[in-house]
Structure 1
Amino acid sequence: MEGLDSGLKFMPREDWDTTEQFLAVSDQKHVEKKPYRRIRLVIGLALGAGLLALLIGLLVWGFHSNQDVQVKKVYIGSVGISGKPFLPEYEDPSSLQFKKLANQVDKELRRMYSENPVLDKYFTRCSVQAFSDGDGGPDSILAYYESEFELPASQEASLNEAIQSLEPSAGSQHAQRGRQIQRPTESLTLRSVSSQALDLRLSRTNITEKVPINLHVKNKNKIDSPGFPDSTYPPNTSQKWSLRAEQGHRVRLDFHTLFLEDDCEKDFIQIYDSLLPIESQLLTEQCGYPHGSLSYVSSGNVMLVLLVTNSEKNFPGFRAYYSQIPANTAECGGKLLGERGNFSSSLFPVNYPPKAVCTWEIQVPQDKFVKVEFKKFEVGKDGATCVGDYVEIEDQRLCGNRLESNVFTSESNKMTIRFQSDTSLVYQGFTAYYEAFIPTNPCPGKFKCSNNMCIISDRKCDGYNDCGDNSDEINCKCDVTQMMCKNNLCKSKAWKCDGVDDCGDNSDEEGCECKKEQFSCRNGRCIAEDLKCNGKNDCGDGSDESKCEKSLMLKCSATTYRCKNGRCISKANPECDGQTDCSDGSDEENCNCGRREYQSSRIIGGQASRKGEWPWQVSLHARGQGHTCGASVLNDCWLLTAAHCVQDEYAEANQWEAFLGLHVQGQTNEWTVTRRIKRIIPHEDYNTLSFDNDIALMELDSSVTLNQYIWPICLPPSSDDFPAGQEAWITGWGAMVEGGSSAKILQKAMVRIINHTTCKNLLQDDVTDRMLCAGILDGGVDACQGDSGGPLTVTNPSGRVFVAGLVSWGQGCAQRNKPGVYTRMTKFRSWIKERSGV
């Protein structure tokens, strides 16, 4: 053992007979020596490690190879050419003059790219697409080009950085002051260059690009999206319209109709202040059913309109009218003298053009100061720092559409106001009023708000926020008709417990019959708040379970919804909400109503609606009187209106004509349908004195075809509840002001449902249970003469529109504390069914 411990080799004993034979073993593995087993293990481990290393290497190689997949990048841009007048031949890509100039520009672009190692390495081709008048004076041209690069995906960032070096410097808002080249090339001098990546949505592989349409703008004309108005636009399509006005003019585009898919990632229309879709010159991108100003003006004499669609949900599209206006039409600014006056951004209410700069210098008499109040303000984007588009007053920049205060004052008899817009994304702009005031008496005969507004003195402490900052309602002493809120504001006692937070701290809604920790049932009972949605009918009328995830089967009552199988459920307003609540599915039957096909009394204080926005709205014309009342479409044969519209000499059906699909009075179009009335069915219990049961049906002399411009409104079941404070809309062509003329364009306005008890107290009149009140208690928004019979509509969570009421009566129009009164439709669902079958 000592020899082994000392490291000597093992040797056989000398006294062994080496010739002696040993018995053979049956399993050689069991007698194999351990050193050999260790060798095989080592070899196996080595092979495994090698395979693992190979696998890791392949993965790493695969990752890097994926990073180096060749990709194609397209950039578009413009380059200015100085000292060369624009020729008519440059508008025609097939002309020799176009080809020659394009070739010169192409060579210079290639030379520029060759000076940058990244651009030079990956550049594949470029092509000049179009020319237009330049912005560098009479002898200047703008060339629009497209460049293509092919490179490994891992090098995209480097390419973008190289392209950025060719773009205008930061802060260059009003000219393309990019790389100043100033190099003659065969008598060609390039002034500047800009370049940007093409919008990825424009390079979808499945899009069919239609042949571009080139239009010369001289007289007013129109462009339609493909298929408009007879059919929806085609899927997976790209269509461009290039508009070119005469020299010294701008292009103006006014949309007549615009209906697209709501999602701008799918379908969209873009308008550019150029002849290529260069992002920095994008004036607007629209989709869905946009509102607001839809009129656009170019900075020069060209404009590009681009429509892109995908494969889903194709919509009607658009119609737009184009025209040209002299370039100086958009000029603004100047000196404003005198004690008062108005001024506005370029072309207001049309969207202001890009690259506008206007300065107004206001000067009033020496002993007075200047006050400016913005009546409308929508300039650029909201943001802490206003760059691009803004209004500047005495070193203060304003932008967005929500000003902290819309009144500004000077500390002298002068004030300077500057307006600026950059090269992209235009908005409606502003309109403002200025006046001189004596510093010691800024609001003669009126109350001065903290924000410098002046209001009628009688409106101080009247419970309404007339100033906009509540300064007219601070430190007030409440009179006998008012209550004191916890925040020390005074509000009308009639507003207490009306379901609306009038105080702003909800203190006017505290202690209202039920305690704060209790739930108020529709039947007037109070239960503990924690009993809501516990699966039990604790109220007795199911109202504590009406807004819960799961409905209860209850004994039928006036407050429960009756399914077709005769069983009743607790859920409030379950009909046509997109969820099946009845076991027989009857709550989702007969729901082919109340949908705008594509989505995306005159209404005092409202705004003009868009074509097709209210497809159930009908204009009723009395013989020799023109528009007289409103009505709603129930189906292809029946209309719904107010009984007071069809009394006395108007009771005969032959006195009436119905206009369906109408938008502007006196202007019928391809979507307008007129019908005579076959018969009229007023409610048999209509009271001419109280206007109770103010409802009537009209049957058309022939059916109409339902479409996106003529569509039925949904009727609410008797169990539906429209709580106080719920948003509702009124529509009609009635009087613009009380006693005034009717509206030409269909008007709309948002109001809120008013608590029934509150309404009775305010009107001090016989407001019955068959009536519904709605309005804005501040006043200024209401239905009026000519709106009678028209719908008061609400929208359920699934987007389906129901008629909650019919315009019936009111005390004046749009007066404070005088809401409008409507026929409550939930009381007449069975009557309509019995008389018309609808």
Structure 2
Amino acid sequence: MNDCQPPPGGKRKASDPSLKYSTRTRDVNGLEEAVEFLPATNTKKVEKRGPKRWVVVMAMLLGFLLVSLMVGLLVWHFKYQRAPIQKVYNGHLLIVNWNFIDAYENSSSPEFAMLSKKVKHTIEDIYRSNQAIGPYHKETVVTAFSEGSVIAYYWSEFIVPSYRTKAFDRAMAEKQNQTVQYRLRNPMLQVKSIVAFPADPDIVRSSWDNSCNFALHAKEGEIISFTTPGFPNSPYPNNARCTWVLRADADAIISLNFKTFDVESYSQGNDMVKVYNSLSPVEPHALVKLYGTYPPSYNLTFLSSQNVMLVTLTTDAEGRNPGFKAEFFQLPKSKTCGGTLRGESGNFTTPYYPAHYPPNTDCIWDIEVPPTKNVKVRFNLFYVLEPGIPVNSCPKDYVEISGTKYCGERSRFVVASTNNKITVRFHSDQSYTDTGFSAEFLSYDSSDPCPGKFTCNTGRCIDKAMRCDGWVDCTDASDERSCTCTDNQFRCSNGWCKPLFWLCDGVNDCGDNSDELQCKCPETSFKCKNGKCISESQKCDGMDDCEDGSDEGDCGTAKAVVCKDYTYKCHSNLCVSKVNPECDGEEDCADKSDEKDCDCGIRSYSKQSRIVGGLNSEVAEWPWQVSLHVKNQGHVCGASLISDSWLVSAAHCFKDEWPIRYKDATLWTAFLGLHDQHNTKNEKVQERSIKNIITHPGFNEYSYDYDIAVVELQKPVAFTSTVRPICLPASTHEFPVGKAVWVTGWGATSEGGSAATILQKAEIRVINQTQCNTLLPNQITPQMLCGGVLTGGTDACQGDSGGPLVSVEKYRLFLAGVVSWGEGCAQRNKPGVYTRVTSLRNWIKEMSGI
């Protein structure tokens, strides 16, 4: 853009002597224009002046009009002529003066057509009565009817100019909040209320296929099954929208259970199953959103609050999953929820526990114990969680006691009263339900609520030995407050006492990090894993300034570096700086060898169950788990499958004990894919004889150092959903302190107890090696790895020996350790000890080639 400005110095007056005029006409090629003054007596020259004033005015006016017209056209085009927006709303309305008949369940019946026509006309009249809605209505389709007197379900499509969308959305929101009776075109149809919500985007984008719509009605005492098309022999259709309308009798509710569920995971695509507490697929009435794969025992039972339910499946262009098998039946609608509970103790749960509680539920329990006692409520299991909802304020589903609301997933907790009465209220709104809770009420003596034990402020009773031991055993940490630290403890800045061996272990044990601050590097410095402090600028600069690679190992991308003991070596013998690059889905080595041989560490089920009252594993949850049987003894040890022909186990399993020669391979049989020790002949189980047992030559039967063995099968196994190998980590693979790992096996479920029948699992943590040496003095070698829960209660035990300790990584599971030994089982401050696989990785490869 050019700026029109006066010459330098601004405007000058005519009297300015520096401004010179000339009457001489210059050549047009000259550097200056001539300025000529015309004498008034020269009529010819006077007539040569510019156009008349009215012409100029008209030209200016015309130009202004043209500019205004162009601006108007542009405004009109960009504001009013942008592509209109499609709006789809799903909803329902209540017809108060109409009775439901069975024919309304059939969308092909004349009765359905007649009533849907009346409803459609009524909806159109309602829309037409609002100028912000009516002009944009394109189509309304009535999809279903249900009892009450009659509820009509429908969807409506609108085409709204972009500049009117805000006013339209506001008018639709106001319309659905009205509850007045509508008496419009048809006086025989009285509508009490109309509710409409924007349609689910997943539903709108999918194509409608009438061949994938189903209507089912369960009668009393009848269980109805249904599946996705083609299940289980072929995958469900792509680019489809399938619906299942489920009905029960008028005074009943529906219980829906998914027996098998295998749908494309969310990370792979957009396939999704949604269940609605309505026949209209609107988000405020959604009970659950499901995708991925669930084990058979996962709690997938959902209840409606009325006699209808809608199941939808939307799929994208890809995916080859088999889908689901489900069944539903009707239950009598509960007349009461809650009530008065009296006595010394008792139990109560959310409605229909352990199924998901119904939506739109309010229960109140008035609990009363004898007058001389106080009452406390102990929640043993508590799952009142709604996706995306904060648990600090509990705005939707909650349990309320004495004005305090509880929601989310909570471990066992206790709420106590100061007298013999307490009131528990449970509330669920109209969307997204959960398992609920199982609780008990107990009476206690207010002067001694926990005889012989310490009483938490919450009312929970714990052993007195747990008081001031550094572990938080009360959910409110009242057992660790106002403590006097012993010589074996240090005091945190917040006043808590913690064991001395927790200092500088890299874990924030105090909660305020004061146990680690004294070991912290100065500001703008980076602390290496070996404790060395370097400048922050030296991190990720391509140089190993820490001398242990920790400043270059977590930089997002892998760099070629000089090979060290801690760097990952590619098959080309070149090394990369990245920590744990193998089988992480990214090709970090130039020869791509870090992503080779990665058909391992994958299991069928992507969801972990909430196990009620135990730690039973799911079928196929740990497909590398092997049970090693000895002739006439049954299960003796565990092992891990690392290829189709090789296992990894513990060397001490094959130590001879008179009169049995456990080194003799012919005595052993391996069972792969086994879940239940009483069902070894299951079709999913593969039985193999043992060809060869190789124990590590450095195995010490007294210290259990080098406690590892590789076992060769007589015949290779076939990989299936229940039999798959675990990934072996590189020798440089890191399993950091505090990382969650899983140990599995059929060992004893308690010290000195009997062996488990069903494969057990336990989640524990990797424990700092120095800390472990403090807890088990002079017993831990570099070939050992410690893991456990130092509060006790979770550990491997007899019969688990040789089994896997696995780490869940980004895309795979890796074998971190082999169950080796421990002092007792699950004792406090006594971790389990495992053979460290990374330390013996090269030996495994030398012996097995894997």
Question: Does the CA-based 8 Å contact 2:625-2:672 persist in structure 1?
Answer: no
Instruction: Report SS of the residue matched to 2:212.
Output: coil
The equivalent residue for 2:216 is: 215
Amino acid aligned to 1:238: R
Match of 2:301 among 295, 298, 304: 295
- Whether 2:689 is the aligned partner of 1:681: answer no
- Whether 2:394 is the aligned partner of 1:394: answer no
What is the alpha-carbon distance in structure 2 between the residues aligned to residue 332 and residue 668 of structure 1?
45
- Whether 2:644 is the aligned partner of 1:636: answer yes
Q: Deviations over 1:346-376 (max 9, x none)?
A: 1222210112221111111123332223333
Instruction: Report SS of the residue matched to 1:828.
Output: helix
Distance 1:682 1:47, change over 3 A: farther
Question: Does the CA-based 8 Å contact 2:260-2:294 persist in structure 1?
Answer: no
Question: Does the CA-based 8 Å contact 1:605-1:780 persist in structure 2?
Answer: no
Q: Deviations over 1:532-588 (max 9, x none)?
A: 555444555545544456777666553343332334455443333445554544334
Distance 1:397 1:88, change over 3 A: same
Deviation at residue 439 of structure 1 after TM alignment: 3.5
The equivalent residue for 2:709 is: 696
Amino acid aligned to 2:106: D
- Whether 2:225 is the aligned partner of 1:237: answer no
Seq. identity, %: 42
Match of 1:252 among 255, 265, 270: 255
Distance 1:825 1:516, change over 3 A: farther
What is the alpha-carbon distance in structure 1 between the residues aligned to residue 622 and residue 335 of structure 2?
35
Amino acid aligned to 1:303: M
Amino acid aligned to 1:658: F
Amino acid aligned to 2:368: Q
The equivalent residue for 1:757 is: 770
Deviation at residue 664 of structure 1 after TM alignment: 6.2
The equivalent residue for 2:362 is: 357
Distance 1:326 1:445, change over 3 A: same
Deviation at residue 429 of structure 1 after TM alignment: 1.6
Distance 1:162 1:65, change over 3 A: closer
Question: Does the CA-based 8 Å contact 1:262-1:289 persist in structure 2?
Answer: no
Q: Deviations over 1:295-337 (max 9, x none)?
A: 211122322111112235x263543432325224695312111
Instruction: Report SS of the residue matched to 2:195.
Output: strand
The equivalent residue for 1:22 is: none
What is the alpha-carbon distance in structure 1 between the residues aligned to residue 757 and residue 54 of structure 2?
100
What is the alpha-carbon distance in structure 1 between the residues aligned to residue 487 and residue 553 of structure 2?
38
Match of 1:99 among 113, 118, 127: 113
The equivalent residue for 2:80 is: 65
Amino acid aligned to 1:813: C
Cα RMSD of the aligned pairs, angstroms, is 4.3
What is the alpha-carbon distance in structure 1 between the residues aligned to residue 405 and residue 108 of structure 2?
49
- Whether 2:753 is the aligned partner of 1:721: answer no
Distance 1:453 1:640, change over 3 A: same
Distance 1:475 1:212, change over 3 A: same
The equivalent residue for 1:490 is: 497
- Whether 2:163 is the aligned partner of 1:154: answer yes
What is the alpha-carbon distance in structure 1 between the residues aligned to residue 491 and residue 251 of structure 2?
64
- Whether 2:200 is the aligned partner of 1:199: answer yes
- Whether 2:477 is the aligned partner of 1:470: answer yes
Amino acid aligned to 1:160: D
Q: Deviations over 1:503-527 (max 9, x none)?
A: 33444446679999997777x6846
- Whether 2:339 is the aligned partner of 1:334: answer yes
Question: Does the CA-based 8 Å contact 2:294-2:605 persist in structure 1?
Answer: no
Distance 1:574 1:126, change over 3 A: closer
What is the alpha-carbon distance in structure 2 between the residues aligned to residue 331 and residue 740 of structure 1?
43
Distance 1:540 1:247, change over 3 A: closer
- Mapping of 1:443-462 within 5 angstroms? 443-462=450-469
Question: Does the CA-based 8 Å contact 2:84-2:159 persist in structure 1?
Answer: yes
The equivalent residue for 1:564 is: 571
Q: Deviations over 1:28-70 (max 9, x none)?
A: xxxx978489999999999987765554333212113335x44
Question: Does the CA-based 8 Å contact 1:382-1:401 persist in structure 2?
Answer: no
Match of 1:589 among 590, 596, 615: 596
Q: Which moved more, 1:722-731 or 1:203-212?
A: 203-212
Question: Does the CA-based 8 Å contact 2:362-2:425 persist in structure 1?
Answer: yes
- Mapping of 1:75-154 within 5 angstroms? 75-82=89-96, 86-134=100-148, 140-154=149-163
Distance 1:165 1:573, change over 3 A: closer
Amino acid aligned to 1:152: P
Distance 1:612 1:583, change over 3 A: same
Question: Does the CA-based 8 Å contact 2:630-2:667 persist in structure 1?
Answer: no
What is the alpha-carbon distance in structure 1 between the residues aligned to residue 562 and residue 138 of structure 2?
78
What is the alpha-carbon distance in structure 2 between the residues aligned to residue 802 and residue 421 of structure 1?
41
The equivalent residue for 1:21 is: none
What is the alpha-carbon distance in structure 1 between the residues aligned to residue 77 and residue 765 of structure 2?
63
- Whether 2:800 is the aligned partner of 1:787: answer yes
Q: Aligned residue pairs: how many?
A: 797
The equivalent residue for 1:306 is: 312
Q: Deviations over 1:53-99 (max 9, x none)?
A: 554333212113335x4444333222334576544333222234433
Amino acid aligned to 1:382: P
What is the alpha-carbon distance in structure 1 between the residues aligned to residue 624 and residue 58 of structure 2?
85
Distance 1:571 1:278, change over 3 A: closer
What is the alpha-carbon distance in structure 2 between the residues aligned to residue 370 and residue 762 of structure 1?
40
Amino acid aligned to 2:348: F
Amino acid aligned to 2:40: F
- Mapping of 1:643-658 within 5 angstroms? 643-646=651-654, 651-653=664-666, 655-658=668-671
What is the alpha-carbon distance in structure 2 between the residues aligned to residue 608 and residue 329 of structure 1?
32
Deviation at residue 454 of structure 1 after TM alignment: 2.9
Amino acid aligned to 1:361: D
Deviation at residue 747 of structure 1 after TM alignment: 4.6
Structure 1: any 5+ residue segments left out of the alignment? 19-31, 135-139, 170-177
- Mapping of 1:255-294 within 5 angstroms? 255-259=258-262, 260-262=264-266, 266-288=270-292, 293-294=299-300
The equivalent residue for 1:799 is: 811
Structure 2: any 5+ residue segments left out of the alignment? 1-22, 24-36
The equivalent residue for 2:31 is: none
What is the alpha-carbon distance in structure 1 between the residues aligned to residue 561 and residue 491 of structure 2?
42
Distance 1:437 1:323, change over 3 A: same
Distance 1:254 1:570, change over 3 A: same
What is the alpha-carbon distance in structure 1 between the residues aligned to residue 372 and residue 359 of structure 2?
38
Amino acid aligned to 1:294: L
Question: Does the CA-based 8 Å contact 1:339-1:365 persist in structure 2?
Answer: yes
What is the alpha-carbon distance in structure 1 between the residues aligned to residue 533 and residue 171 of structure 2?
71
Amino acid aligned to 1:358: C
Instruction: Report SS of the residue matched to 1:834.
Output: helix
What is the alpha-carbon distance in structure 2 between the residues aligned to residue 626 and residue 104 of structure 1?
73
Distance 1:684 1:790, change over 3 A: closer
Deviation at residue 262 of structure 1 after TM alignment: 2.0
Distance 1:576 1:158, change over 3 A: same
Instruction: Report SS of the residue matched to 1:94.
Output: coil
- Mapping of 1:702-781 within 5 angstroms? 702-706=715-719, 710-740=723-753, 747-764=760-777, 766-781=779-794
Q: Deviations over 1:650-687 (max 9, x none)?
A: 65356424233x56666799993523234242314344
The equivalent residue for 1:24 is: none
What is the alpha-carbon distance in structure 2 between the residues aligned to residue 480 and residue 799 of structure 1?
45
